[in-house]
Amino acid sequence: MHIEIFSSQTGVSLGVTQQLDFKDIIQNQHCTNPIVLRFVPDQEASVSNLKIYLENKGVSKNSNFFFATSSMFFPNIESGSDVFAPFIEMPGVDSTIAPYGYTIDPVVIPNGSSSDYVWLDVQSLKQTGVNRPNFRLFFDT
* Average pLDDT for runs of 10 along the chain of length 141: 94 92 83 94 90 88 91 94 94 90 89 93 78 88 86
| pLDDT score for 24 | 75
Q: Cα torsion for 76, 80, 85, 90, to the nearest 10°?
A: 120
* Residues 136, 35: Cα–Cα separation, whole Å: 16
User: 62 burial class (0-12, 13-18, 19+ CB within 10 angstroms)?
Assistant: middle
pTM of the model: 0.91
Three-state DSSP state, 64? strand
Nearest to 1 by CA among 85, 105, 115: 115
Strand partners, 134: 56
| pLDDT score for 129 | 61
Between the two ends of the chain, the Cα-to-Cα distance in Å is 10
Q: Cα torsion for 107, 115, 121, 137, to the nearest 10°?
A: 60
| pLDDT score for 21 | 85
Q: What share of the chain is helix, strand, coil (3-state, %, to 5)?
A: 0, 40, 60
| pLDDT score for 12 | 96
